[in-house]
Structure 1
Amino acid sequence: MAGTGRHAVHRTMVLVDVERFSAPDRTLRHQQGTRAGLYEVVGQALAAAGVPWDACHHEDRGDGLFVLVPPEFPKAPLVEVLPEALARAVRGHNTTSPGAARVRLRLAVHAVEVAFDEHGVTSSSLTAAFRLVDAPPLKKALADSPGVLAMIVSRVVFDEVVRHCATLDPATFRPVQASTKEFREPAWIALPDHPFPPDPAVLDRQPADSEPPDPASGGQAAPSAPATDDAGVTGVSGPRAVAITGGVHGSGTGITIGAATGDHLTFGAPPPGGPEGPR
């Protein structure tokens, strides 16, 4: 890789990590077979997306690897073609490998600015990509999936690439908040070989306000209470929050709240005539 001096340059980052690489039943021999298979399947998936392995900068991470794709290669195939090709290659690897050498993968795609030096590459965006592939919502999505691959893309990749793809349905992605260590950023998760049901409503939801995908509801984020109900009561969230679903009656020093159970809670002195005031 030719040096780029002190200036940051743009690259698309493809980061792949093996689920449970250090599992007790995965001996050193199995780990070596897993790593050899990992490089093979990633190379196959990049080739399917039209990206030659030798054109990229790549570094090993023990239980995974990352690839920096030069800007002359379009990003769309990296989310349209590469994930399905990677899942297909993983299934092929697993059919010819012993159980402890079989793999399932987490995949992150991010568009980053990086600076090269004599030791490799660095940037805050590169660190963010590593946080994405380690995000708990992505790990949970893969653990709950019958497939072999879970993918997470950064918000910039989703907004600038996924939303505009011709052969990929963005409604099969789910918005999440990726929080790892000091990192907290919105992102989008998909299961390439076992997709979430298409849900156009998720495209209007901001990832920052979203919960992790709930497999029991087809991967949709858990519903949240409306901010304001018909009576104008604003919902409050938090560990000590109280959700009010009934009506509000009275005014001044006596305000009665009718709960959905039929019970009532009065703040201050109740107005004359009972909890609902004069009749």
Structure 2
Amino acid sequence: MAGTGRHAVHRTVVLVDVERFSAPGRTLRHQLGTRAGLYEVVGQALAAAGVPWDACHHEDRGDGLFVLVPPEYPKAPLVEVLPEALARAVRGHNATSPGVAGVRLRLAVHAVEVAFDEHGVTSSSLTAAFRLVDAPPLKKALADSPGVLAMIVSRVVFDEVVRHCATLDPATFRPVQAAAKEFREPAWIALPDHPFPPDPAVLDRQSVDSATPDPASGGQAVPSASATGDAGVTGVSGSRAVTITGGVRGSGAGITIGAATGDHFTLGAPPPPPVPEQPHNPR
């Protein structure tokens, strides 16, 4: 893009991927129709959010596409307006398309720094957006939903945008760990056209860094104890909870907390049992 040189610039990335694009029932004719419909519905949804298609950089990904929205367009409509508009447009497309040409979509929204060159665009944060849209919890959320759209937003988008939205209920999002290849980051999932029931408790957690996906809950996160580097650790909940707000350091097999109170848990392996005393040899 002209004027950016080799310097990274800020963009909001909207990444859309078609569920089961290469399913056996989709012939080439169906795939071409699906791709044409994808561009149409994404363009409609962006317009509803106040973002002109021509103002954005976009690239094709075969079974999906990504759009880089310039910073002069606010992020809030991209999570408040665009997802519902996209779901409506998809339902309209499906109503006039053969069954196998119908689509369901995964949507990722992330705030990124990217660098442009003569071949396109690149950055590690853009790669993270692709990992988000491929995250197993997002795929499962869409597979389990009767709707046509599942959305995942990065932690920065949730914390800086979703939490402060006036027309979007952040309690309908669910925290997950998005893990794909070398990528592992906290993120938040929503189902715009078939929302999760509001759960204000999910907003009490300041961060989902220590959350791990629970397969039994469809990829939703559950708290877990962890201790990595200087990060704080929250290990248990309830009236006798223990929270470490500073770094955990030291040596040995493990650290036991709360032993004096009778309520305790151990970070790391517990110490080995004492060696039994050997009988006295009279010689």
Q: TM-score range by the shorter chain?
A: 0.7 to 0.9
Distance 1:79 1:4 in 2: 27
* Distance apart, 1:181 and its partner CA: 0.3
State the 1:208 CA deviation.
3.6
Partner deviation per Cα, 1:111-149 (whole Å, 9 max, x = no partner): 000000000000110100110000111001101111000
Shift of 1:21: 0.3
**TM-score, structure 1 normalization:** 0.78
Indicate conservation of the 8 Å contact 1:106/1:150, yes or no. Answer: yes
Query: Following TM superposition, by how much is the alpha carbon of 1:213 offset from its aligned partner in structure 2, in angstroms?
Result: 7.2
Distance change (3 Å), C-alpha of 1:66 and 1:204: same
Q: Is the 8 A contact 2:174 2:220 kept in 1?
A: yes
Tell me how large the CA RMSD over aligned residues is: 8.2
Q: Deviations over 1:135-194 (max 9, x none)?
A: 111001101111000000000000000000000000000010001000011100000000
Are the aligned partners of 2:114 and 2:121 in contact in 1 as well (CA < 8 Å)? yes
Provide the rounded CA distance (Å) in 2 between the counterparts of 1:229 and 1:3: 40
> In the aligned structure 1, how far is the partner of 2:112 from the partner of 2:254?
58
1:239-266 Cα deviation digits (max 9, x unpaired): 9999999999999999999999999999
Runs of 4+ in 1 over 2 A off after TM superposition: 205-279
Q: Give me the whole-angstrom Cα distance separating, in 1, the residues matched to 2:230 and 2:115.
A: 53
- Residue 259 and residue 144 in structure 1: after superposition, are their counterparts in 2 closer, same or farther (change >3 A)? farther
Deviation at 1:12, TM superposition (A): 0.3
C-alpha distance in structure 2 between counterparts of 1:12 and 1:114, whole Å: 10
SS in 2 for 1:273: coil
SS at match of 2:38: helix
Name the SS of the counterpart of 1:38 in structure 2.
helix
Q: CA deviation at 1:2?
A: 2.5
Contact 1:41 1:86 (C-alpha < 8 Å) held by counterparts: yes
Q: Which moved more, 1:164-173 or 1:206-215?
A: 206-215
CA drift of 1:272 comes to 24
Question: How far off its partner does 1:219 sit?
Answer: 8.4
* Alpha-carbon distance, 1:204 to partner: 1.8
C-alpha distance 24-181 of structure 1, shift in aligned 2 (>3 A): same
Q: State the secondary structure of the residue aligned to 2:261.
A: coil
Determine the C-alpha separation between the residues in 2 that align with 1:117 and 1:268.
47
* Cα distance between partner residues in 2 of 1:90 and 1:228: 43
Aligned-residue offset at 1:71: 0.4
Bigger Cα displacement from structure 2, 119-128 vs 204-213? 204-213
Task: Classify 1:241/1:29 alpha carbon distance in 2 versus 1 (closer, same or farther; 3 Å).
Answer: farther
Q: Aligned to 1:126, what secondary structure does the other structure show? A: helix
Question: Relative to structure 1, is the Cα distance of residues 30 and 104 closer, same or farther in structure 2, using a 3 angstrom cutoff?
Answer: same
How many Å separate the matches in 2 of 1:184 and 1:214?
A: 15
Give SS of 1:23's match. coil
Gaps of 5+ in 1: none
Quote the offset at 1:3 in angstroms: 3.9
- 2:243 partner SS: coil
Superposed displacement of residue 232, structure 1: 20
SS at match of 1:43: helix
Q: Compared with structure 1, are the counterparts of its residues 266 and 93 closer, same or farther at alpha carbon in structure 2 (3 Å cutoff)?
A: closer
| Contact kept? 1:256, 1:266, Cα under 8 Å | yes
Cross-structure match for 1:65? 65
Map of 1:6 onto structure 2: 6
SS at match of 2:271: coil
TM-aligned CA deviation for residue 234 of structure 1 = 12
Check conservation: 1:245, 1:259, Cα contact below 8 A.
Answer: no
Q: Is the Cα–Cα contact under 8 Å of residues 250 and 276 in structure 1 kept in the other structure? A: no
Q: Percent identity?
A: 91
Contact 1:10 1:70 in 2 (8 A): yes
Residue 205 of structure 1 deviates from its aligned partner by 2.4
Q: 1:151 to 1:249 in 2, by over 3 A?
A: closer
Which stretch of the first structure deviates more once superposed, 87-96 or 244-253? 244-253
Name structure 2 gaps, 5 residues minimum.
none
Identify if the C-alpha distance between structure 1 residues 246 and 99 changes in structure 2 by more than 3 Å, giving closer, same or farther: same
Query: Contact conserved, 1:246 with 1:259, CA < 8 A, in 2?
Result: no
